[in-house]
Amino acid sequence: MVKYSVILGNLGNTCDRFLSSGYKDQLGKAEMVRQAAAIPGVKGIELVGTWDVTPSNVQEVGELLAKHGLACVSIIPDHFSQKRWGRGAFTAKDPSIRAQALEETMAAADMARTLKCSLINIWPGQDGYDYVLQGNYRQERRWIIEAVTKAAKAYPDISFSLEYKPKEPRTHSYMARAADTLIVASEIGLPNVGVTIDTGHSFVAGENVADAAVLLTDFGRKLFHMHFNDNYRGWDDDMIVGSVHCVEFVELLFWLKETGYSGWYSMDQYPYREDGQGALRGSVEFLMKIDEILDEKAMAELRGLVAKGDGVESVAWLRSKLFR
């Protein structure tokens, strides 16, 4: 059974860099949770630390989620939207900032325990560089490894999943693709450290996202979490799932089933101008439609097509499912 969730803030007033006030009115937390619960199939919520949940309101947030029958799927530490992280969080050259980034991660893990949540999703958006001769490639990756290792050892009951992205807000990110993030997770060598695929980040990185999912699964069972959105590959547009890359999502869901992925399918979008609930509902509905197509008969057919490797037959199969 596929499990669907949404990042809570996607339902609010998502702002871009041109209009800091956003294009919509901001909804209250209770209303966003209510709207999430009203999307058919959605049973989980992801929360961003400091944005959605803090040590002072964690009990209240837990009660709100329970009221609507929603699980806390993950907590995302805020390593990206505060001034102090401007020159890096885990990779800041200032050791006091690096210590604060680790503290933020530990605080998220404490809140996760309170909410009976088993996953911390780490997106180190500021951990990278912008110019040549600016980044210490050897040292700064080591700082990431050291920090995540400390957190994972301190909270062995919590999984820590590293979300990669090739760029933005920095021009280059240290964890940019599935393979280099897998190296980091493997170097840490702990069973509770893995990787998150954000489909949009994978597209921007030039990856075949299905191939990335298999890579992370077959080399250490390190695919811990999935974020779903879409884009035109030039930028992280965070669009409705399937609005651009329809057939790639068919292949991705085939391989997620084939490799036994049992984690959440979590929506991560920024509907700047669109109705947030409507955009998220459309994404979940699209993935549900693919899941319906991929019944036992279809899965067997696809295994045969992959074994044969005939592109003409594979594309013909897709046409037969998409145009009836």
pLDDT digits (tens, 9 = 90+) for 71-129: 999 999 999 999 999 999 999 999 999 999 999 999 999 999 999 999 999 999 999 99
Question: Does 20 have pLDDT greater than 90?
Answer: no
Q: Are 230 and 240 in contact (CB under 8 A)?
A: yes
Q: Are 27 and 11 in contact (CB under 8 A)?
A: yes
Left (φ > 0), alpha (ψ -120 to 50) or beta: where does 214 sit?
Answer: alpha
pLDDT digits (tens, 9 = 90+) for 241-297: 999 999 999 999 999 999 999 999 999 999 999 999 999 999 999 999 999 999 999
Q: Are 19 and 13 in contact (CB under 8 A)?
A: no
* Strand-pair partners of 45: 6, 72
Query: Which of 240, 159, 250 shows the shortest CA–CA distance to 209?
Result: 250
- Residue ranges of alpha helices (H) inside the chain are 29-37, 58-67, 95-114, 137-154, 178-188, 199-204, 209-218, 246-258, 276-293, 296-308, 311-322
Q: Residue 160: what pLDDT? A: 99
pLDDT digits (tens, 9 = 90+) for 34-80: 999 999 999 999 999 999 999 999 999 999 999 999 999 999 999 99
Tokens representing 278 are: 């409507």
